[in-house]
Amino acid sequence: MDKIQILMSTYNGERYLKEQLDSILEQDCKDKGIECTLLVRDDGSKDGTQKILEEYAKKYSTQIEWYQGENKGVIQSFFELLQRADDTASYYAFADQDDFWMPDKISSGISSIQKLEQKEDSRPYLYCCKPMPVNEKLEELDSQIKRPVMRTGFGNALIENIVTGCTAVFNRTLRQMAIKELPEYTFMHDWWLYLIATCYGSVVYDETPHIKYRQHGDNAVGNNVSLLHEFWDRLRLFQKKKHNASRQVTEFLRIFDTDSFDMIKEGQTARVAEHLALAREMVQARKHFMKRIRLLRKHKIYRQRKGDHRVFMLFLLIGMY
Starting at the edge strand that comes first in sequence, how are the strands of the sheet with 211-214 ordered? 100-101, 211-214, 132-134
Are 136 and 214 spatial neighbours (Cβ–Cβ below 8 Å)?
yes
Largest Cα–Cα separation, the chain:
63
**Residue 95: strand pairing partners:** 8
Q: How far is it, in rounded angstroms, from Cα 266 to Cα 279? A: 20
**pLDDT per residue as tens digits for the range 190-214:** 999 999 999 999 999 999 999 999 9
Which numeric CATH code is attached to 2-214? 3.90.550.10
Residue 190 and residue 165 in contact, taking contact as beta carbons nearer than 8 Å: yes
- Paired strand residues for 94: 7
pLDDT tens-place string over residues 79-104: 999 999 999 999 999 999 999 999 99
Low-confidence ranges of the chain (pLDDT < 50): 219-222, 265
Torsion sign over Cα 13, 17, 18, 21: negative
pTM here is 0.91
pLDDT value of residue 10: 98
Single out the residue of 52, 45, 37 nearest to residue 85, CA to CA: 37
Confidence at residue 307, expressed as pLDDT on a 0 to 100 scale? 83
pLDDT at residue 145, as a whole number = 67
CA distances from 18 to 15, 21, 104, 138, 273 (A): 8, 5, 19, 14, 46
48: CB partners within 8 A, 6+ apart: 14
pLDDT at 220: 47
Q: What is the pLDDT of residue 53?
A: 98
List every span in the chain annotated with CATH 3.90.550.10: 2-214
Is the distance from CB of 117 to CB of 237 less than 8 angstroms?
no
Q: Which of 12, 43, 10 is nearest to 24 (CA)?
A: 10
